[in-house]
Amino acid sequence: MTDSEIAAYLEEQTILNIASIGPTGHPHMVAMWYVVMDEKVTFWTFG
């Protein structure tokens, strides 16, 4: 994909999947809402 195609794709979507490794070594995956700000995918969460 070209840079402009990637940007258009990300602007059309609203949810991404984030994966991390938990403290016990097991993967943890969660869906997160996001926006594109200053050409960067941006999201936040609360502890």
To which H or E segment does residue 8 belong? helix 3-12
Compute the mean pLDDT over every residue in the chain, rounded to the nearest whole number: 92
pLDDT value at residue 8: 93
What mean pLDDT is predicted for residues 20-32? 94
Share of the chain above pLDDT 70, in %: 98
Contact 34, 18 (CB under 8 A): no
Kindly report, residue by residue over 32-41, the tens digit of the pLDDT: 999 999 989 9
| Residue-range domain boundaries for the chain | 3-42
Q: What's the CA gap between 9 and 27, in Å, rounded?
A: 27
| Closest C-alpha to 34, from 12, 3, 8 | 12
What mean pLDDT is predicted for residues 17-42? 93
At CB < 8 A and 24+ separation, what contacts does 28-33 make? none
